[in-house]
Amino acid sequence: MARYKYKYETHVHTCAVSKCGRASVEEQVAFYASLGYDGMFITEHFMRGNCIISRDLPWREQVEYYCSAYEEGVELGEKYGIKVFFGIEVSLGGCDLIVLGLGKNWLLDHPETMTLPQDEFCDLIHEHGGFVVHAHPFREASYITASSVIPTKEDAVEIYNPNCDDTANDLAKIYAREYGLPMTAGSDNHSGAGQRKLYGYETKEPLNSVEDYINSLKNGFGRTFMTVREIEQ
């Protein structure tokens, strides 16, 4: 029987774009490559969230800047021997969504992503073939004014995130099961090698594209995993 041997980090930020990031793109890519991961998703905070990009720039410049960390990651992935995929984390009040399957050209054509309310935003993503993962849906934090879940608009749920307490993760798992939504996990890693607890997604067959990951989630081909690292003080 085939075993789950391909490991993927699904939720990563860098200081290149995310205001809360504390590790560079190269530090993140090198870190996951050193652990033997087969792939990782760079999911920077979008301009509707904790992002360093000035909203005063022309839209094209904002998008080019936003995608630059991922593009750097792809080049570094070739250097370090790890696949790097693109995702977008968008903060909509009390709801943080990771959008998959849509890239830079799509963003350039859709500046309305900056203003649409949650349900219309998700409708736009789906209209163009994108996939929506609800990240840490029950996290409690100062920036979250009110938690919001809309199971008819989401395609999968991040049920494990080390920056949430056990109650929040348990509620995410219950929520996903109740509505029959695929489950994934991510480390929400902002600090590279400083991240002690790692959550991710593992598969029996390699993922060669974002579409492979989406297909794996939809069909239950993979599973979540967790490891805890010892970090030297």
Quickly list H helices, the chain: 25-34, 59-80, 104-109, 118-127, 166-178, 210-219
What pTM does this model have?
A: 0.95
11-22: per-residue pLDDT in tens? Answer: 999 999 999 999
Residue ranges of domains in the chain: 6-228
CA distance 196 to 162: 9
**By three-state DSSP, how is residue 42 classified?**
strand
* Topology adopted by domain 6-228: TIM Barrel (3.20.20)
4, 201 contact by CB (below 8 A): no
61-96: per-residue pLDDT in tens? Answer: 999 999 999 999 999 999 999 999 999 999 987 789
DSSP 46: P
Torsions phi, psi of 129, nearest 5? 85, 15
Distance from chain centroid for Cα 44: 8
Pairing of strands 197-203, 131-135: unpaired
